[in-house]
Amino acid sequence: MASTSTASALVHSPRWQQFYQLTKPRVVQLIVFCAAIGMALAVPGLPDLSQAMTMAAAVAGIWLVAGAAAAFNCLIEDGIDARMKRTAWRATAKGELSRAQTLAFSALLCAAGMVMLAIWVNLLTMWLTFATFVGYAVVYTVILKPMTPQNIVIGGASGAMPPVLGWAAMRGEVGFEAWLLCLIIFLWTPPHFWALALYRAEDYARAGLPMLPVTHGNDYTRLQILLYTWVLFAATLLPFLTGMSGWFYLVAAVALGLGFCGHALRLWRAYSEALARRTFWFSIWHLSLLFAALLIDHYIS
């Protein structure tokens, strides 16, 4: 999310920076972080040198393909981005990068990431990562986002895949634990994104996108956020209940879950833009710290 100062700073930004920003680096960092946690959890104990090299190749490959998907999203939504304050600063929205340049950049990143995964990781991870690219760049961006207010719920399946990709990279298969982590991110995505949509509702309405606050109103969206946070809270307890993690993770999951539910409850009872913003940013910390707790618990249990 770019502030006014950031937008001003990018008016005369160098070409490399324009391309780099198309990859949505903050979003991709969280994606790669969750994938890396999936890799670490798939390896009992500390990884050896060979496993560490596979991890590095998988991180790089997933990073490239995720960046390609983000750039393709910018290509498809250049007209929409130009009408939204949050995204009007992007080089594609301002016409500083042509559609051909953006498409070539996205294709190059995707091809490089796929080749890297195929050669230095495994074919399962390559195909799962490509399916995730298609899910986000095509199914979500092209079909779901402009069609239904449930876009982020259905499309969230592709965004929830990073731990599955990480697990597949190290095991060559996808286990129950990986799908459990996928479920957590899948349930986390709607309240996280709808908190943002609440205070950006005018932007989405101007762009003609059927986001939940636009189609169903502020009150309904706040209720959905509250309900999802409680379902998410229950799901975050499953790693402990299934024996995947220990007490350290449980304490962290309860504390973070109650914090997220508390934000959602306050938002539901009395809306303010400031509180919606705090809920959105807390959601990012919630997922990041939850997965960090899984990693710590994995090594101390």
Q: pLDDT of the chain along its 301 residues, tens only?
A: 333 334 444 456 788 899 999 999 999 999 999 999 999 999 999 999 999 999 999 999 999 999 999 999 999 998 888 888 888 889 998 989 999 999 999 999 999 999 999 999 999 999 999 999 999 988 898 888 889 988 888 888 888 999 999 999 999 999 999 999 999 999 999 999 999 999 999 989 988 889 999 999 999 999 999 999 999 999 999 999 999 999 999 999 999 999 999 999 999 999 999 999 999 999 999 999 999 999 999 999 8
Q: What pLDDT score was predicted for residue 131?
A: 96
pTM (2 decimals)? 0.92
| Closest of 177, 180, 216 to residue 198, by C-alpha | 216
Residues 6 or more apart whose CB falls under 8 angstroms from that of 160 comprise 182, 183, 184, 185, 186, 189
> Other CB atoms closer than 10 Å to residue 284's CB: what's the count?
14
> For residue 269, what are its two tokens?
């009872």
> For residue 79, what are its two tokens?
């007209």
| Closest of 211, 215, 230, 214 to residue 268, by C-alpha | 230
| Closest of 83, 77, 285, 297 to residue 192, by C-alpha | 285
State in Å, rounded, how far the first CA of the chain is from the last one.
37
pLDDT digits (tens, 9 = 90+) for 242-299: 999 999 999 999 999 999 999 999 999 999 999 999 999 999 999 999 999 999 999 9
Report the alpha-carbon distance of residue 194 to residue 218 in Å, rounded: 10
Backbone angles phi, psi at 253, to 5 degrees: -65, -40
- Residue 153 is classified by DSSP as H
Fold of the domain spanning 11-174: Tetracycline Repressor; domain 2 (1.10.357)
Q: What pLDDT score was predicted for residue 12?
A: 61
| Closest of 181, 152, 162 to residue 290, by C-alpha | 181
> Other CB atoms closer than 10 Å to residue 259's CB: what's the count?
17
